[in-house]
Amino acid sequence: MRWIIILVGAVLVVFMLGTCSRKVSIPSGTIAFLGDSLTAGYGLETGEAYPALIHIQGMTMLNLGVSGSTTEDGLRRLKDYFTNGGKPCLVVIALGANDILHGVAPDVTEANLESAILECRNRDVPVMLCGIRIPGKFGTDRIFEKVADDNQVPLLPDLMQGEQTQENLLQDDGHPNAAGQKIMAEKMQAALLKSFSFGDRHQK
């Protein structure tokens, strides 16, 4: 009898692991990118920002990035977007860099990010969260890890993927240049395809 109980328990564990690792299915529609200057493509042409460089068949990329945005600003903008009829199939939240740079308390940043995730969940919209690792302020990436873990959403740990120290990928002010944005787009697209299932569509 004991071995039967053990066997059943093992089967349940395997089933739960399989369920947890299953990708969320995303129907054709809009992926909205809620971010700051990194998402807006500060200093670049509109088509050079990373959202415009992502190609997933059946999906339209909407750039909701605004330079200078904090998580509070982004949360307000997200609410306005939904209030005005926005109906994305997926929201990518890439906010928090300005909070860190301006010394916003980590618990405030966490609360704003969680509220943004809740705004999406209340509308049955899946979310992916993006973190940022800022030189000289190491350890702040734990904010994003905590929010992702607490809310069970996929996380792209570092939106710039270490580009902060590669001068050939940066503008004079430290923002990504066109080449840097292209690399960000490649990493973002890979993260999206890893975390979500876009039906039977394939990468272009």
As a three-state string, the secondary structure of 154-186 is CEECCCCCCHHHCHHHECCCCCECHHHHHHHHH
Q: What is the Cα–Cα distance from 3 to 24, expressed in whole angstroms?
A: 35
Is residue 53 within 8 A of residue 181, CB to CB? The reply is yes
d(C-alpha 77, C-alpha 6), whole Å: 51
Nearest Cα residue to 91 out of 115, 111, 67 = 115
For residue 118, give the 3-state DSSP assignment: helix
pLDDT of residue 56: 96
Model confidence at 164, in pLDDT bands (50, 70, 90)?
A: low
pLDDT above 60 (res 28): yes
What per-residue confidence (pLDDT) applies to 20?
Answer: 42
Q: Does the pLDDT at position 15 exceed 80? A: no
Structural domains present in the chain: 25-197 (3.40.50.1110)
DSSP code of residue 29: E
Which residues neighbour 42 within 8 Å (Cβ) at sequence distance 6 or greater? Answer: 67, 175
| Cα gap 9→127, rounded to integer Å | 32
Q: What percent of the chain has pLDDT over 90?
A: 75
Cα Rg of the chain (Å, integer):
18
- Residue 162: per-residue pLDDT: 72
Q: Count CB neighbours of 121 within 10 A.
A: 14
Average pLDDT, integer, range 21-27: 84
Q: Which residue has the higher pLDDT, 52 or 22?
A: 52
- CA 91, 160, 55, 18 torsion-angle sign: negative
For residue 108, what pLDDT band results from cuts at 50, 70 and 90? very high
Strand partners, 156: 130
